[in-house]
Structure 1
Amino acid sequence: MTGDILTLNAGSSSLKFAIFEAEQPDARPRISGKISGIGGAPVFSAKDAAGIALTSTQLARLSPASSHEELIALLLDWVERHLGGRSLTMVGHRVVHGGRHFSQPVRLDDNVLRQLDELVPLAPLHQPHNLAAIRAVAKWLPDLPQIACFDTGFHRTQDPLATLFALPRALSDEGVIRYGFHGLSYDYIASVLPDHIGAKAEGRVIVAHLGNGASMCAMQNRRSVATSMGFTALDGLMMGRRCGALDPGVVLYLLQSKGMDATQIEALLYQQSGLLGVSGISNDMRVLEDSDAQSARDAIDLYVYRAASTLAGLVPAIGGLDALVFTAGIGENSAHVRRAICDRLQWLGIGVDEAANDANEIRISSADCAIDVLVLPTDEEAVIAAACRTLMEP
């Protein structure tokens, strides 16, 4: 099996990519990069395996009006010229929602795409862009195999009880259940946990994926037992722009008393809430931590309070806690947020070494803490590449 695997993670404002050697399962990507600022001022960046920046005058002049299809055409042309004589053998995509039908990575065809289109209302921020990227690759490289890897798939190991809402059974039977998300991230963390805590990795672990989108997953035997997100990626933790868990009566109030329609409410809950809504300043934790505004402090404090409360609420699902892992943008980079969350959970036996935490070390738990507290970078692209290799095998 020779050639290269291209992984794509298409969002509304960014397109992340990586190129892996198909025959080197444990290797880091040969090239990785992204197009950010889509819809505004797009910027292309890429680096090789040694971390050396790679530039492109063509991609550097991207237009604010460029569609995902146009951007992928430019990216595929750039990738082809940087393969060094090798060829692409497969493209793997992150697809946020797989619904009830897709729990494992799958080869893409028209029938699969039709089923994934039906899930767009459950992930309106992500699914349309995921599928647009798939269709763009199919247009420009129609003979290249593509696969989808689902953020919901990792959570299909949960007991059915953990997936139910207290709604009429007919709705549950139709698929109105808790799916959970960020599964590719949790899959990667589960795969590397033994390298850091040995046999404890099979124990009771909670992983906090804290980024612009945020969730938590309680694991046992490195399998999902419970998670904070539910039917959509709107539930659970407070996020950058999303409100997280919300009394459904608020939605009824907005409809009945404020005269808002479904489109307005969707924009409010997905785009105008969370850190941005509470602070009135930004959805970027770095900006808020640098701000002296009381509203910024309120937003951070609420984010921490909600995170600590959610984490504590997941503990009963696994009967205790042996390890806590922070990952994703905020989890990996904000020492303040990690410390503040752990401070609220001292009653669980969690203790943090201040110096290790401030230095963003891998192990930040204090020496006398029985619960391991780790900071681990996630790598969704590596999970996608591994799935591609598996589906390539005869």
Structure 2
Amino acid sequence: MTVLVINSGSSSIKYQLVNPESGESLCTGLVERIGEEIGHYEHKYNGKVTEATEPIADHGVGLRKVLEFFDTVGPHLAESDIKAVGHRVVQGGKYFDRAALVDDAVQARIKQLCPLAPLHNPANLRGIEVARELLPDVPHVVVFDTAFFQQLPDEAATYALNREIAEKYEIRRYGAHGTSHKFVSETVTKILGRTDLKQIVLHLGNGASASAVVNGRAVDTSMGLTPLEGLVMGTRTGDIDPAVVFHLQREAKMDCESVDRLFNKESGLKGLAGDNDMRMVWKKVDDGERNAIEAIEVYVHRLVHYIGAYTAVMGGLDVVTFTAGAGENDSRLRARVLDRLAPFGVKYDAEKNAVRAKEAREISTADSAVKVYVVPTNEELAIARQAMELIQ
């Protein structure tokens, strides 16, 4: 049995055919530069990469070509026993705390939530619409990035904003990367065979977020109404005094769109060090560039700040887990963070930390006060499994 997982972006479609039981990925692909002069396809199956370069007018054209690849290159969807199509949607608002079977009402609700995720939900929705048209005989399931955090305690989800305004415009902490945080925290729970864990998950990619998870339930997370809040990220500021917006509007005469672009696309590591690729930032550090050195210090400081805060919120800490691009692969970054936690009895094995592997692994020592894990995230597998659970 397989599930076709689709992640539709504003100008791209990522897809993967997954066996949710074994976790095996049978095929992966990417459609990119949709709507531009020249688009690009990449379809990987059975060790072979098939590519094509041609104009891709819209998501419909792109997805039709993808289905053509399945027919001509493989694997054939009909022979793969496809049971569902799973779609990633960023914003589920206060309405979805789990996966949902797609119907017209669900699509309408996703559209209603577009103002809360204007860069993501419209593209996610377009992918759903096209896929339902092209694959009408297969159930479609949506999995929301916000679902894992939908039931945050009110004390964590509520901003100290005028209540009438907040309720009217649905302003609260929604979080993001929830599919990853759920997958990773559940993986650690299974590894340790315990359901009573107090966990902190650090999802460190170009977008970065932290979560506090107690007994399998999220009790806090760093991203807020949008993915801008929280940790320092590749191009996003993370936490910043909201009055900076008013200051820039008054003194720099910047309009709303300019401030939005500055905070989301021109800040973070890119704004501090001139590059949002952590590997390049470390190269600049090794070359002695002061801006890059400071950028790493700010990045690590913010991480340690959240670890300390979440430990207090949970009343203790059993496990810290690193995941996503930098979290899984950057041993140097992990070491910087863990060294700052040494006064609290956190100890790690430098040799284990230096290993790069595709499997979940513990890097803490036997006498560490807190266990430390590196767990590769797999959002596609998580989506496939949630889709299968729902239709079954």
Question: TM-score over 0.5 for the alignment?
Answer: yes
**What's the offset of the Cα at 1:232?**
0.9
Confirm whether residue 74 of structure 1 aligns to residue 65 of structure 2: yes
Counterpart Cα distance in 2 of 1:355 and 1:44 = 40
Counterpart Cα distance in 1 of 2:376 and 2:59 = 27
Match of 2:177 in 1: 182
Cα pair 1:151 1:183 within 8 Å, conserved: yes
Cα pair 2:237 2:264 within 8 Å, conserved: yes
**What's the offset of the Cα at 1:112?**
1.9
Match of 1:198 in 2: 193
SS of the residue corresponding to residue 311 of structure 1 reads helix
Alpha-carbon spacing, 1:370–1:62, altered in 2? closer, same or farther (3 Å): farther
SS of the residue corresponding to residue 55 of structure 1 reads strand
Alpha-carbon spacing, 1:219–1:210, altered in 2? closer, same or farther (3 Å): same
Confirm whether residue 356 of structure 1 aligns to residue 348 of structure 2: no
Alpha-carbon spacing, 1:69–1:212, altered in 2? closer, same or farther (3 Å): farther
Cα pair 2:14 2:29 within 8 Å, conserved: yes
Counterpart Cα distance in 2 of 1:165 and 1:226 = 13
Match of 2:7 in 1: 9
**What's the offset of the Cα at 1:152?**
0.7
The range that moved more, 38-47 or 189-198, is 38-47
The range that moved more, 67-76 or 185-194, is 67-76
Note the alpha carbon deviations across 1:255-311, whole angstroms, 9 max, x for none: 22222111112111111111111112x211112122323322222222111111122
Counterpart Cα distance in 2 of 1:9 and 1:42 = 17
SS of the residue corresponding to residue 193 of structure 2 reads helix
**What's the offset of the Cα at 1:197?**
2.3
SS of the residue corresponding to residue 219 of structure 1 reads strand
**Which residue identity does 1:284 align to in structure 2?**
D
**Which residue identity does 2:2 align to in structure 1?**
D
5 Å-filtered alignment, 1:93-104, equals: 93-104=87-98
SS of the residue corresponding to residue 388 of structure 2 reads helix
SS of the residue corresponding to residue 91 of structure 1 reads strand
Confirm whether residue 212 of structure 1 aligns to residue 206 of structure 2: yes
Cα pair 2:348 2:364 within 8 Å, conserved: yes
Alignment counterpart, residue 295 of structure 2, candidates 291, 295, 299: 299
Alignment counterpart, residue 262 of structure 1, candidates 231, 256, 267: 256
**What's the offset of the Cα at 1:360?**
3.4
Counterpart Cα distance in 2 of 1:329 and 1:233 = 17
Note the alpha carbon deviations across 1:148-189, whole angstroms, 9 max, x for none: 101111112321121111111213333211111111001111
Counterpart Cα distance in 2 of 1:13 and 1:305 = 34
Match of 1:384 in 2: 383
Match of 1:89 in 2: 83
**What's the offset of the Cα at 1:338?**
0.7
Counterpart Cα distance in 2 of 1:375 and 1:364 = 7
Match of 1:321 in 2: 317
Unaligned runs of 5+ in 1: none
Note the alpha carbon deviations across 1:17-59, whole angstroms, 9 max, x for none: 21124xx6234222234345666986544545xxx53222xx4
Alpha-carbon spacing, 1:299–1:46, altered in 2? closer, same or farther (3 Å): farther
Cα pair 1:238 1:244 within 8 Å, conserved: yes
**What's the offset of the Cα at 1:339?**
0.8
Note the alpha carbon deviations across 1:289-340, whole angstroms, 9 max, x for none: 2232332222222211111112211111111111100000110011111111
Alpha-carbon spacing, 1:332–1:8, altered in 2? closer, same or farther (3 Å): same
Cα pair 1:98 1:152 within 8 Å, conserved: yes
Counterpart Cα distance in 2 of 1:5 and 1:216 = 28
Alignment counterpart, residue 288 of structure 1, candidates 277, 281, 291: 281
Aligned residues: 381
Alignment counterpart, residue 52 of structure 2, candidates 60, 82, 88: 60
Alpha-carbon spacing, 1:66–1:305, altered in 2? closer, same or farther (3 Å): farther
**What's the offset of the Cα at 1:214?**
0.6
Match of 1:134 in 2: 128
Unaligned runs of 5+ in 2: none
Cα pair 2:98 2:147 within 8 Å, conserved: yes
Match of 1:242 in 2: 236
Note the alpha carbon deviations across 1:196-240, whole angstroms, 9 max, x for none: 3232x5211100001011101111112101111111111101111
Counterpart Cα distance in 1 of 2:380 and 2:305 = 30
Alpha-carbon spacing, 1:277–1:105, altered in 2? closer, same or farther (3 Å): same
**What's the offset of the Cα at 1:348?**
2.6
**What's the offset of the Cα at 1:76?**
2.4
Match of 2:332 in 1: 336
Cα pair 2:92 2:110 within 8 Å, conserved: yes
Alpha-carbon spacing, 1:257–1:114, altered in 2? closer, same or farther (3 Å): farther
Match of 1:154 in 2: 148
Cα pair 1:93 1:146 within 8 Å, conserved: yes
